[in-house]
């Protein structure tokens, strides 16, 4: 096996091991009752401490602030990208760039690009034909965030 290929495989395995360790630590904390972890499916396990750490690194970004605010105000409700743009007042490109920054910062902190906000591609709009991203925050995460953002 070529050196670069082998190195890439080892690095990927280390990232997988770190992600598994983080998930197991969250599960253990949940079992022990030391800190509640919320399982957000493909966004992984989140604790209040993790949400707080991420927020401390991204709260200067107005598009990310709008994303957290609007999804926390309407927990468990799907918010469209258009609604988010109305809230942030940013151009579409800038809002998308700030989502990329959120992913990058989360990746640096947690070794995987994940958010405490779930998202999915919505269906196509019948008038525009455009499919929009949808965002929603679990009600437990929303309560944490409101407490953190005070």
Distance CA 121, CA 141 (A): 21
pTM of the model: 0.76
Q: What is the pLDDT along the chain (150 residues), one digit of tens a residue?
A: 787 787 777 667 766 776 666 666 666 665 655 567 888 888 998 999 899 999 999 999 999 999 999 999 999 999 999 999 999 999 999 999 999 999 999 999 999 999 999 999 988 777 777 789 999 999 999 999 999 998
DSSP-derived pairing of the beta strands 131-136 and 118-124: antiparallel
Distance CA 7, CA 85 (A): 42
């Amino acid at each position: 096996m070529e050196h670069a290929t082998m190195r890439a495989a080892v690095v990927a395995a280390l990232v997988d091991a770190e992600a598994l360790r983080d998930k197991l630590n969250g599960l253990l904390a949940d079992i022990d009752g030391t800190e509640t972890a919320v399982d957000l499916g493909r966004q992984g396990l989140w604790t209040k401490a993790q949400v707080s750490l991420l927020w401390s690194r991204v709260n200067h970004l107005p598009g990310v602030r709008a994303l957290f605010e609007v999804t926390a105000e309407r927990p468990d409700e799907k918010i469209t990208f258009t609604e988010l743009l109305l809230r942030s007042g940013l151009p579409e490109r800038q809002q998308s760039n700030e989502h990329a920054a959120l992913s990058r910062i989360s990746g640096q902190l947690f070794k995987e690009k994940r958010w405490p906000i779930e998202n999915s591609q919505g269906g196509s709009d019948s008038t525009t034909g455009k499919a929009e991203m949808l965002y929603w925050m679990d009600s437990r995460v929303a309560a944490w965030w409101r407490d953190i953002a005070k």
